[in-house]
Amino acid sequence: MGTSRFVDRVVLHLSAGDGGHGCASIHREKFKPLGGPDGGNGGHGGDIVLVVDPQVHTLLDFHFRPHIKAGRGGNGAGDHRNGARGEDLVVQVPPGTVVMDDNGEVLADMTSPGMRYIAAEGGHGGLGNAALASKARKAPGFALKGEPGEEHDIVLELKSMADVGLVGFPSAGKSSLVSVLSAAKPKIADYHFTTLQPNLGVVTVGNGTFTIADVPGLIPGASQGKGLGLDFLRHIERTAVLAHVVDTATLEPGRDPVSDVAALEEELANYESDLAGDTGLGDLKDRPRIIILNKADIPEALELAEFVEQDLTDAFGWPVMIISTVAHKGLEQLKYKLMEMVTEHRTHHPVADEDARTIIRPKAVRAKKGRGKSGQGHDFEIRQDPDIDGGFLVVGEKTDRWIMQTDFDNDEAVGYLADRLARMGVEEALFKAGAQEGCPVTIGGVTFEWEPMTSAGTDPLLTGRGSDIRLEQTHRASAAERKRASQARRGLIDEFDFGDGEQASTQRWEG
């Protein structure tokens, strides 16, 4: 018989789908000598979307399969055929899941069924040469490459969404109270830390209902990691009412109801100080409290409970109830008191419509969709390169994406990139920043020797497909030279033989 595991915090490694590459194709058909470009666009990569599903109750599946990858976009093809969009990967998470980044910053608090959060966006598909055609480039000999999808880690934390949270020392009778107030059947035994996972039950009172959950036993020092530590304190963050369950029949020395409640309140205060800076939910001190004195079926325990009832009221000012889960004493009065406190909290904290389908995106407007006026020069920033003397960095989401989409083995594609950067104002900004000809400029992780192109941004001179006459005027190796050098490195041709008509061998050189 296998043992169940409770997992309420997991780290997921997300990889959204890459965008498909655009196609560089020329339409060739009999009696149509000028068919023109017909390369299709690449498809966008699939997104990774988290969706709240009330039928999911745990994060256990993610514990065993933490790597999540969405589908890749299809490549474009000739005859204006666009690549298929990558399939989105929809991941169901339970209500109460909090999504955070590596630094603990909350990205989404997923509470309502149907709420969607796009955790990683797929890469943009590259344009085919049909979409790149213009009056200057009537038949582009290049296409844009697909953009890689987002890759990052996120942290999922599951926090129980109960109306009433039971806190107390181990063996105070919290699980027993849940079992007698609801239909839940948690594990109950006479030793400490029997409960190793929060138990949730539904309590019916007249025409109303509320949920109740017990948290594994706390001990002094829990906020510093003692006992079960912080593993389950997060499950009381969402509770409307906090109920202190006190064992009045304990035989442990130095234990009494007043000191027990005071010790637990100290742990909650210590946890709240960390919680306020972590998730912004640090309002535990404002939650209504109630003190439940349990095990009144034992005469000595009942006598102690009646003795300290007024002391607890004077010390904390909260309602005090005396019950026995074994003898079912005081349970009806406790139910109605808890229902009254929960109803009051719901009145002051209305819940949003659960039927609303909320979609959360990491950014309100994504730059890659092409919104905004790039000509104003607000999409990038020029910085001094801290690693290279006299070097500069061009930092911007749009410029980085253009670098990833460029095929640097194609001179015409490089010329098109230069034109885009010039129209955006990058060259002008480099001049103003003090860049000199030949200085290293890094864009999107690629470093160039900057050669100001006075004609960049204007209509290029018509040349052969895949070439740009402006690049031939520089010291940069041409596409043919780079291809020959690559073949020489792989041993396909003789590096020192420049005879006319030499053809690369299809077999790897084995000299």
Average pLDDT over residues 13-28: 93
pLDDT band at residue 119, thresholds of 50, 70 and 90?
very high
Q: What is the pLDDT of residue 366?
A: 44
- In this model, does residue 385 exceed pLDDT 80? yes
For 245-254, 380-389, 448-457, which range has the lowest pLDDT when averaged over its residues?
A: 448-457
Report the range of poorest mean pLDDT among 53-67, 263-277, 351-365. Answer: 351-365
**Which range among 13-17, 123-127, 499-503 shows the weakest confidence by mean pLDDT?**
499-503
Give residue 361's pLDDT: 56
Assigned token pair, 322: 């005396």
Output the pLDDT for position 165. Answer: 83
Say how many C-beta atoms besides its own lie within 10 A of residue 361's C-beta. Answer: 14
pLDDT at 152 > cutoff 90: yes
- Across the range 295-305, mean pLDDT stands at 87
Distance (Å, whole) CA 232 – CA 223? 10
> Distance (Å, rounded) from C-alpha 334 to C-alpha 74?
62
**pLDDT (0 to 100) of residue 439:** 85
Please name the helix (run of DSSP H) or strand (run of DSSP E) that holds residue 178, with its range, or none.
helix 174-181
- 457-495, pLDDT tens digit by residue? 555 555 666 666 566 555 556 667 777 787 887 777 776
**Is pLDDT of 145 > 90?**
yes
Angle, helices 299-316 vs 257-278, to 10°: value is 50
For residue 19, the model assigns a pLDDT of 95
Residues annotated in the binding site, as ranges?
168-175, 193-197, 214-217, 294-297, 324-326
pLDDT: which is higher, 162 or 73 = 73
Binding residues for GTP: 168-175, 193-197, 214-217, 294-297, 324-326
Checking if the pLDDT of 104 tops 90, the result is no
Residue-level pLDDT at 23: 94
Q: At residue 161, does pLDDT exceed 50?
A: yes
The chain-wide mean pLDDT, for the chain, equals 77
Q: What is the pLDDT of residues 227-282, one digit of tens each?
A: 444 555 666 777 788 888 888 887 776 678 888 888 888 877 776 645 444 444 44
pLDDT in tens, 414-431: 888 888 888 888 888 888
The band of 389, judged by pLDDT with boundaries at 50, 70 and 90, is confident
Q: What percent of the chain has pLDDT over 90?
A: 18
Q: Please list the helix, strand and coil fractions of the chain in percent, rounded to the nearest 5, in that order.
A: 25, 20, 55
pLDDT confidence of residue 275: 47
When mean pLDDT is compared over 38-52, 94-108, 241-255, the highest value belongs to 38-52
Query: What number is the average pLDDT over the span 383-400?
Result: 87
**Full-model pTM:** 0.65
Domains of the chain, earliest start first: 1-158 (2.70.210.12), 164-348 (3.40.50.300), 375-457+465-476 (3.30.300.350)
Residue stretches of the annotated binding site for Mg(2+): 175, 195
- Contact indicator for 442, 392 with CB cutoff of 8 Å: yes
For the cut 80, the answer to whether the pLDDT of residue 177 exceeds it is yes
Q: Which helix (H) or strand (E) holds 139?
A: none
Q: What's the rounded Cα separation, in Å, for the pair 481 and 471?
A: 13
CA dist 456 and 346 (Å) reads: 64
